[in-house]
Every structure is written in C-alpha cells, then in structure tokens.
C-alpha cells in the first residue's frame, strides 16, 4: 500500500461523519446489537467530452435526440447555470476530481497544451504536466468509506506514474476514442464503455461503489453510419447529432443496468460535460455544434465555453423534474458527493474551493427563483483563470461571475468588460459604463483571487509578430453569424482555421515533465528544532507546527544533470499569518521569499521562488525561517526543482 493510501486508511475515523456520533453513550450501547446502518449510496459520475450546454433535447435542442438523458433529467434535478471549472478538458477534469481551482493546481489547459507561437502577444506559463499525486481525488476520499472505485474511459491527467491507479481508482480501463461506426457502436467507443460499466455494476452491486465513466464522446474526430446521418439530416451537423444519439443510448444502458440490479433507488447518478461545445472547425471537420444563445465555445471563457449540462438524480433526495437556476461549478461536485457519502470533506481532503450542493438537491430546498438555498449562495463569486491560447481561438483571460453580473478580463490588453448574463446571455453589450462601481469592484476581486490561489501569470512574448497574428486576429470566432449549417460555418472560417494550424506547425508545448523534475515531499524531510514536524493526515500531508523561528527542515537531493533549475514551493498560511521570511538554500545558493497568506494553513498554493544553478550529484536543500511575522511561519507540502531549457 502506498504512503498516500495508508494515510487515507488511517484517517477513516476522522473522515467519516457518523450519524451515531450524536447519540448518547447509553443509546450507543443499546443500539450495538441493532442492524447495521444503511450503506452509503452508490455514485455513478458520467462525464461527456465537449458536450455543449444546449446539445440535449431536455436542455432545449430540437435537432438532437436524447431520450435516455431526458428521462434522467425528468427523474432528477437539472441545473441551467452549471459551469465547467475551465474551458478545456484536463484542467476541468482535475478540478472536478479534486474540488480545487485549476489556477491553484497550476493545471489550467488541456495536456500537453497549445505551443507558443509568434502569433501570440504573451507567453503561456508552463503548467503542470499531470495531476500531482499529492492531491486527494474523489476516488481516494471515498475509499475509507468502503467504496470500490473505478475509472472507465478518458483520463487525460497524466501518463506513467500518474494514471488512475495512482489516484485512488482500484479499477481502470481506457476507452476507445476512435471506433468504426456500426449498427451497435458509435465512433467513440460508447457501447464498449457501457459494456464495461454494466460488468462493473453487476460485479460490485452488493457494496458501495464509485464509477467514474468518462466518455470520449462527442470529442472530435467522430463519424457515423450513413443510416444514422440520414436520420439526422435536418440537424445543424447530422454526424454530430448521430454521435449524440449514440452517447445517449450508452447512458441508457448504464441506467438500465442499475435498474436491473435493483440499485436505482440507492445510486446517485450525475451527468455532465468537461467544457462547452466545440463551435469551430477543427481536424478537417465542420463545427460540431453551436452554443446559441451563449457566446463562444470550447477554449473560451465566454459562457458558450463554460456552461455545461448538469443532471443529478438521487431518488428520495432530488425532486423529479426540478430545475435549478443558481450558478454552480463542477468543482462543487467533490464536496457534494463526499457529503452524500457521509464524509466531512474538510476532514478527508482539507480545504476545498467548491461547496456542497446538497441544499439545492434536497426536496425541501428553496425554489430556484430564491437567491439562496441554505449555504449555497446564488450570488457567490465564481472565478476562472485561463492564461493560455487555445486551438479554438481562446486567448489569455480571466472571468468572475457574481449573481447576474459577469466580468471578463483580457490579459493581452488588460481590458475588462461587464455583462448582465441573465438578460444578455450572448454577452453582447458591455455594461461597464453603466455600472462602473460594479466593474471596478469585480476587477479588484478577480485580481485578489489570483493572488490568493497562486495563479500563474503570462509574460510578454519576445517572438511576437503582428504579421503572424493578422489573419487570426481578423476573425472573431466567439461572435459567429447566425447558425445555419455546420458546413456553411466551416467554409466561412476555413481561412482562420488554416492560419491557426499553421501557427503551431513544428512547435512543441511546454509542460512540467513527469520525469526530469525533482519533487521533494514533506514526508521525506528531516526536521530540526522543538515543534516542527510532519503531519501525516491526508488532508494535511505537510510540515506543520512551524511556530518556532529556530526550527528548520532539510532534504537530501540528487541532481541528475548540471544546469539551471526553477524552484517552486507548495505553501499554505492561515488568515492573518503571512509575512514571514524564509531562506531556501541549495548548493551554496539561497532564495529568500516572503510567505503568502492563503486563508488556511492547508490551503496550499504553488509559488515560483526563482532560479538556481546546480551541479550534478548529491546536495542538501534547507528551509530556514529568517523572520517570523506572526504565530506560525507556514505549512509546506512539496518543493519542486524544475530543469530549465
């Protein structure tokens, strides 16, 4: 058993919220011989890939057929203002599975990302090349509660050493992203995944299970049989409509499997998508969909790139056919599902950026017309940070939604725009001049949030060429003409697509490698002094009790190759406790940094401290406080030494 798994198992008693804890000692004794408490609910989380907000019939799409998902929505709750944590897949999946902002994880785009090109005014930051193993996933958090866990389908969160098995999934099987369309199979391996899910459900029907069913559908490339395309001849994109129908049929098989084994009443089913629909031509295909009335699509922080379908069915809890209009984000799913399983999220995974949506799912929840439902505030701020250029025309930007207002910030120019996304879902009219106080406050709040989560920043691109950017800049794909057919739109944007693809030809993206960097973990440190120690609880996994300025820590390091290395530290610091100064020293070079307040000692953020030149061979890295500002210095979970090109 890995140290990470062992820490989770040891935390069972602390992590599980037992109803019996509220009983008196006498009542506990009397109940000792009573029947065991009911098992926690099974959880089936079905994730589509690039499915747009209005791609389902139950969401208003009239040219798509989705009877099984419509049935799921009729039996549960459908959210009309559900947002992806990021406009691209890997970042969104990481946030969904950890309950943390992509900006905090430094995983903010797809993997490996779009290369930098001369057509960009800004350089993109070097994002994490995988979901770090220090992060606790939903699968890891559920295991101590007795869940069997499985990941079937697309992972896209890291290669060797960072696969699902290393992140709490006891069973894992990849999907088949490109299959030959037939009468029984679509082009994205939908039915193969359904068959694996049926087997898993049948095998584990007698104990709680968590099934993460991550489809490759309807991500490009896709195809369909002639017969299937003919059935959807009137659709915006007939082939895409056929793929959606096949995806829906595979979901129907999973729902039928639960029903056949008598599991429907004790299973939570969640269906959603990792980001908005792809609205531009790509890989030689016409645009798969449009996100009307929302602006933009995949790769953009406009609502077309962020809004996703979200359906939750939990018999006995969700009101059949209910519709919730409160803005929510998929980062909320981890605390929601943990709480549904009887777990206290804060005691199993530490501070999370999402909030539990259970108050919105319960039958006695207030109506969606109300501004609040228990602790879920309809006006709570939702933040996004996307310091990247996307293959779909997205640019480095940030966004904040509060209530009816949404502020977007263009990182190239620093320009902000304010939209009333309730009355103006197309984000067509900038209301900054009408409401300057709101715009200014939201811009300040967005900037403060980036600091709070340790968001990576862009830098000017020394290779920028205005000539290289010209063809791309002249076409605004986030404001498409009124959709007629995918073929017509694809033809209109053909020159733009050619220029986008030509810009990256022969270039490679830059990500943090899964091999080559040196990762120093809190558990491996040697601590010195009277109080500093390693705290092994899974929600901590940190060097803590750093209350004495004379306490310090050191690590043995083996530098594989001489050269320049960037040093990053994962630190946390409670509210009002920031400001201590600490020296990091290795091979005779020192970097002094100021500890940043993060709101909680286990609310970790990654901070780049600087660069050092290291010789190859053994070395010792030390962390010593230079000055303690308040009661404690900080908590430290990880240090990374990253080789520079």
CA 558 vs. chain centroid, Å, equals 33
Q: In the Cβ-directed half-sphere of 639, how many Cα atoms lie within 13 Å?
A: 26
Give the number of other CB atoms < 10 A from CB of residue 185.
18
Q: Encode burial over 54-92: b for 16+ CB neighbours within 10 A, e otherwise.
A: bbbbbbebebbbbebbbbbbebbbbbbbbbbbbbbbbbb
Phi/psi for 19 (5° steps) reads -60, -35
DSSP states of 457-506:
--EE-TT--HHHHHHHHT--TTSPPPP--HHHHHHHTHHHHHHHHHHTTT
Instruction: List beta partners, residue 149.
Output: 210
Q: Residue 93 contacts by C-beta under 8 Å, 6 or more apart in sequence?
A: 47, 155, 156, 157, 214, 274
Q: Where are the alpha helices (DSSP H) in 161-269?
A: 190-203, 226-231, 238-260
Q: Strand, coil or helix: what is 228?
A: helix
Among 621, 470, 504, 610, smallest CA distance to 559 is for 621
- How does strand 42-48 pair with strand 267-273? parallel
Tokens 């993060």 belong to residue: 598
Residues catalogued as catalytic: 89, 156
For the four alpha carbons of 200, 201, 202 and 205, in that order, the dihedral sign comes to positive
What's the CA gap between 143 and 353, in Å, rounded? Answer: 21
Burial of 532 (0-12, 13-18, 19+ CB in 10 A): buried
**Tokens representing 350?**
């530490």
């Amino acid at each position: 058993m890995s140290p990470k798994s062992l820490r989770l198992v040891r935390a069972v008693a602390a992590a599980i919220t037992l109803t019996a804890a509220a009983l008196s000692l006498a009542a506990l004794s009397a109940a000792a011989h009573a029947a065991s408490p009911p098992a926690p609910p099974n959880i089936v989380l079905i994730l589509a890939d690039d499915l747009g907000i209005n791609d389902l019939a139950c969401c208003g799409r009239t040219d798509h057929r989705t009877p099984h998902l419509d049935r799921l929505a009729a039996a549960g709750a459908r959210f009309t203002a559900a947002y992806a944590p990021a406009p691209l897949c890997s970042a969104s999946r990481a946030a969904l599975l950890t309950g943390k902002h992509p900006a905090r994880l430094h995983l903010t785009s797809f993997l490996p990302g779009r290369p930098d090109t001369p057509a960009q005014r800004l350089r993109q930051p070097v994002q994490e090349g995988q979901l770090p193993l220090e992060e606790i996933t939903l699968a890891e958090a559920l295991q101590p509660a007795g869940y069997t866990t499985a990941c079937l389908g697309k992972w896209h969160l890291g290669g060797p050493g960072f696969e699902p098995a290393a992140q709490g999934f006891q069973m894992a099987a990849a999907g088949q992203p490109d299959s030959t369309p037939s009468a029984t199979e679509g082009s994205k391996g939908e039915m193969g995944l359904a068959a694996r899910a049926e087997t898993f459900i049948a095998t584990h029907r007698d104990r709680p299970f968590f099934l993460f069913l991550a489809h490759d559908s309807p991500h490009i490339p896709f195809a369909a049989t002639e017969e299937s395309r003919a059935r959807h001849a009137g659709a915006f994109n007939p082939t895409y409509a056929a793929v959606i129908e096949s995806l829906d049929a595979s979901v129907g098989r999973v729902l039928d499997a639960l029903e056949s084994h008598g599991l429907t009443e004790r299973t939570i089913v969640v269906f959603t998508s990792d980001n908005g629909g792809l609205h531009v031509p790509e890989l030689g295909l016409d645009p798969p969909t449009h996100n009307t009335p929302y602006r933009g699509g995949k790769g953009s922080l406009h609502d077309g790139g962020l809004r996703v379908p979200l359906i939750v069915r939990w018999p006995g809890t969700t009101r059949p056919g209910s519709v919730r209009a409160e803005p929510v984000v998929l980062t909320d799913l981890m605390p929601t599902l943990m709480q549904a399983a009887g777990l206290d999220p804060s005691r199993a995974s530490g501070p999370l950026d999402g909030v539990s949506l259970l108050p919105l799912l319960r039958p006695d929840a207030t109506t969606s017309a109300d501004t609040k439902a228990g602790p879920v505030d309809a006006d709570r701020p939702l933040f996004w940070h996307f310091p990247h250029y996307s293959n779909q025309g997205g640019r480095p930007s940030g966004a904040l939604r509060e209530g009816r207002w949404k502020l977007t910030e263009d990182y190239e120019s620093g320009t902000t725009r304010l939209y009333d996304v309730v009355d103006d879902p197309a984000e067509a009219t900038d209301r900054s001049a009408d409401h300057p106080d709101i715009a200014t406050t939201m811009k300040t709040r967005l900037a403060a949030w980036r600091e709070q989560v340790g968001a990576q920043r862009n830098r000017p691109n020394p290779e920028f060429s205005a000539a290289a950017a010209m063809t791309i800049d002249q076409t605004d794909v986030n404001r498409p003409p009124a959709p007629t057919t995918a073929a017509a739109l694809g033809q209109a944007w053909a020159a733009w697509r050619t220029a986008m693809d030509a810009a990256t030809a022969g270039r490679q993206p830059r990500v943090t490698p899964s091999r080559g960097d040196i990762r120093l973990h809190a558990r491996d440190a040697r601590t010195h002094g009277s109080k500093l120690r390693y705290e092994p609880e899974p929600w901590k996994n940190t060097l803590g009790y750093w209350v004495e300025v004379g306490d310090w820590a050191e690590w043995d390091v083996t530098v594989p190759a001489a050269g320049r290395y960037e040093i990053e530290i994962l630190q946390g610091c409670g509210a009002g406790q920031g400001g201590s100064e600490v020296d990091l020293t290795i091979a005779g070079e020192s970097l002094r940094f100021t500890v940043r307040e993060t709101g909680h000692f286990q609310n970790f953020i990654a901070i780049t401290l600087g660069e050092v030149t290291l010789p190859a061979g053994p070395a010792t890295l030390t962390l010593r406080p230079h000055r303690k500002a308040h009661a404690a210095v900080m908590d430290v979970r990880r240090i990374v030494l990253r080789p520079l090109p």
